[in-house]
Each structure stands twice: as C-alpha cells, then as structure tokens.
C-alpha cells in the first residue's frame, strides 16, 4: 500500500496548471509587411558599400570555350563556389592568361612564375591586367591524367587597383593537345 502526501499532489497540480497555461498562451503577432516592401532590397549600409570594390571583383560569369592547337598545353581553372564557372585560362609558354574580374574578361601579362613545376606550369602564377589589377593563382596539382593533370585545389586572389583583395577557391585541369 502506498501513501501519497498532499504536498506531492499539490506540486503535481501546480506543474500541470503551469504546463496548460504555457501551451495556451499566444505568441506576439508578427507584423504584416506591405507587399511593396517585401521584395525591396535592403539599403546599402556604409559597411556593405565599403566592401563593394572587393565584391565587384568576384567573377559574374564564366569564360567561353578555349582552343588548344596541336602540341599546346593549357591551364583551365573553375571556381569552387556556386555556381561553378570557368574563370581562368592560360596557354603554356605565352606569358599571358585570360580571366574574369567581375563582369569583365581580361587578358593579363605574367608577372609571377614560381613554386613547383607541374607539367608546363608553375604552382604560383601572377598576372597584371591592363587597368593595374593583379591576379595571383596558387594551385595544388593532383592526379596525373593521360595528356594532363588534375588541379585538386587552390585559390585565385584578385587585387584591385584600390588594394582590395578577393580570394576565390578554385580547382581545374592542366591539359595538352597531342
């Protein structure tokens, strides 16, 4: 035979009453947003507008198809951000590369060529655009393929003429036309 104390029952009753009261309370109503304001973009703050030079350097689209002549090798680079885009191309032994900076397709002249050799390229390459912006590509070569090699990762750093740096994660392939 068990004996219940009146204090145990009253504690249980208080807890049950608190639970019922909590479940029946209404949350604060959510204010309605007029339809005209619902789709309006947030106004630029000084903090976001200060970043515009760096944000504007991010490639908006990819490069078009690139061709290699017989015996030529090329370095094909895609960004690893969504959506994937083909953003950098260099032919070996030309001293030039084509790349995307914002919405512009730019041809740059090589200013850096160092690091480790992989095929006809080096793991660190840098280029200057006609407007003075610089693009430095650092890559990590991966698996060797027939006629080329994967680039398992790396980064493309775009430095604007104002000194802003935008770093983009990349991957790609080095390929040669027989």
Looking up tokens 């790609």 gives 172
**What are the residues whose beta carbons fall under 8 Å from the beta carbon of 38, sequence distance 6 or more?**
none
pLDDT per position as a tens digit, 79-133: 998 788 999 999 999 999 999 988 899 999 999 999 999 999 999 999 999 999 9
Q: Tell me the domain boundaries of the chain.
A: 52-176
Lookup: tokens for 43: 């106004």
3-state secondary structure of 111: strand
Token pair of 165 as six digits: 């740096």
Nearest in space to 87 (alpha carbons), one of 75, 102, 96, 77:
77
Is the separation of the CB atoms in 75 and 94 below 8 Å? no
Question: Does residue 141 surpass a pLDDT of 60?
Answer: yes
- Strand 148-159 versus strand 134-145 pairing type: antiparallel
Please spell the DSSP secondary structure of 144-172, one letter per residue: EETTEEEEEEEEEEEE-TTS-EEEEEEEE
Distance CA 130, CA 61 (A): 20
Average pLDDT over residues 152-175: 95
In the predicted structure, residue 59 carries a pLDDT above the cut 70: yes
Which H, E and C letters describe 36-92, residue by residue?
HHHCCCCCCCHHHHHCHHHHCCCCCCCCCCCCCCCCCEEEEEEECCCCCCEEEEEEC
pLDDT tens-digit series, residues 100-113: 988 899 999 999 99
Output the pTM of the full model.
Answer: 0.69
CA distance 77 to 88: 5
**Percent of the chain whose pLDDT exceeds 70:** 69
Phi, psi for residue 21 in degrees, rounded to 5: -65, -40
Whole-angstrom CA distances from 121 to 75, 154, 173 are 8, 14, 11
């Amino acid at each position: 035979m068990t004996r219940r104390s009146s204090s145990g029952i009253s504690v249980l009753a208080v807890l049950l009453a608190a639970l019922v009261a909590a479940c029946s309370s209404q949350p604060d109503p959510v204010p309605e947003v007029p339809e005209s304001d619902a789709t309006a973009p947030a106004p630029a703050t000084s903090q976001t507008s200060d970043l515009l030079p760096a944000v504007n350097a991010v490639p908006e689209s990819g490069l078009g198809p690139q061709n290699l002549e017989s015996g030529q090798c090329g370095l094909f680079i895609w960004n690893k951000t969504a959506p994937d885009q083909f953003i950098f191309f260099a032919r070996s032994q030309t001293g030039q590369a084509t790349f995307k900076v914002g919405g512009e397709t730019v041809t740059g002249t090589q200013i850096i060529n160092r690091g480790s050799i992989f095929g006809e390229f080096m793991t660190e390459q840098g280029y200057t655009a006609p407007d003075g912006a610089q693009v430095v590509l650092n890559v990590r070569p991966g698996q060797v393929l027939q006629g080329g090699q994967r680039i398992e990762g790396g980064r493309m750093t775009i430095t604007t003429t104002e000194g802003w740096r935008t770093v983009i994660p990349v991957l790609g392939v080095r390929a040669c036309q027989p």
